[in-house]
């Protein structure tokens, strides 16, 4: 009886080791990038409208479905006169983040970037050729903002206040996307 119990435990241990040996916990690299980029970021995305550079931008990546390598997002660019919102879909393939916007002129790819818990910086390139790169620099919104702004200096607070300048006007004065052409720095080089 004792020998039978010993054999049972030995067989159970062998089966457990076999099952664990065939299980892999390694994540697909694109899924890992998607996991890290998800969330809300703010900073400089090199956006322009009618020759005016954006004072800052917010961008949010929201994963879709069961994975992190694709999803939807929203970008809000803040100008002196107000803000403009763009919606996009994204897909991560071979480490490159491809973004297609509601305005096809803004389609781009994020390449050669550094991504950490707090910072996201690198280059935005032409969607198809991955050329004409322009630099971007972002910080994680949720870890840096509070109700009073970042570090007491109002870079922009959810689109309500710009810098320490109290002359910023309301969003109603901002032209719509259809009235004026929004471009990204990388798109300006093609024109």
For 99-110, what is the mean pLDDT? 94
Report pLDDT digits (tens) over 81-103. 889 999 999 999 999 999 999 99
Q: What is the arrangement of strands in the sheet containing 47-49, beginning at the earlier edge strand?
A: 52-53, 47-49, 182-184
Output 143-152 pairs: Cβ under 8 A, ≥24 positions apart: 143/117, 143/118, 144/42, 144/118, 145/42
Percent of the chain topping pLDDT 70: 63
* CA–CA separation, 8 and 174 (whole Å): 76
For 97-114, what is the mean pLDDT? 95
Least confidently predicted of 23-27, 108-112, 169-173: 169-173
Tell whether the model's pLDDT for residue 172 goes beyond 50: no
For 71-86, what is the mean pLDDT? 93
The average confidence (pLDDT) of the chain is 77
Report pLDDT digits (tens) over 11-68. 666 666 665 555 456 678 999 999 999 999 999 999 998 889 999 999 999 999 888 9
Q: CA nearest 56: which of 159, 128, 186, 151?
A: 159
Contact 91, 70 (CB under 8 A): yes
* CA–CA separation, 89 and 107 (whole Å): 10
Q: Could you count the other beta carbons within 10 Å of the beta carbon of residue 140?
A: 17
Domain 29-188 has CATH 2.40.128.120: yes
SS3 labels along 23-63: CCCCCCHHHHHHHHHCEEEEEECCEEECCEECCEEEEEEEE
Phi, psi of 158 (to 5 degrees): 45, 35
Q: Taking CA 150 as the corner, what is the angle to CA 145 and CA 151, rounded to the nearest 5 degrees?
A: 135
User: Can you tell me whether residue 183 is helix, strand or coil?
Assistant: strand
* CA–CA separation, 183 and 190 (whole Å): 11
């Amino acid at each position: 009886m004792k020998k039978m119990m010993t054999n049972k435990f030995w067989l159970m241990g062998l089966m457990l080791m076999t099952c664990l040996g065939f299980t892999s916990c390694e994540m697909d690299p694109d899924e890992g990038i998607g996991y890290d980029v998800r969330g809300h970021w703010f900073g400089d995305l090199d956006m322009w409208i009618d020759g005016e550079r954006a004072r800052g931008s917010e961008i949010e990546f929201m994963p879709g479905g069961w994975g992190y390598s694709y999803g939807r997002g929203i970008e809000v660019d803040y100008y002196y006169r107000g803000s403009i919102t763009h919606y996009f879909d994204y897909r991560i393939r071979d480490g490159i983040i491809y973004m297609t916007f509601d305005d096809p002129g803004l389609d781009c790819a994020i390449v050669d970037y550094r991504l950490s818990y707090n910072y996201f910086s690198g280059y935005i390139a032409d969607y198809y050729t991955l050329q004409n790169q322009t630099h971007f620099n972002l910080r994680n919104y949720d870890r840096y903002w509070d109700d009073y702004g970042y570090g007491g200096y109002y870079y922009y607070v959810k689109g309500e206040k710009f810098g320490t300048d109290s002359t910023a006007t309301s969003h109603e004065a901002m032209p719509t996307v259809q009235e004026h052409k929004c471009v990204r720095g990388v798109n300006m080089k093609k024109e």
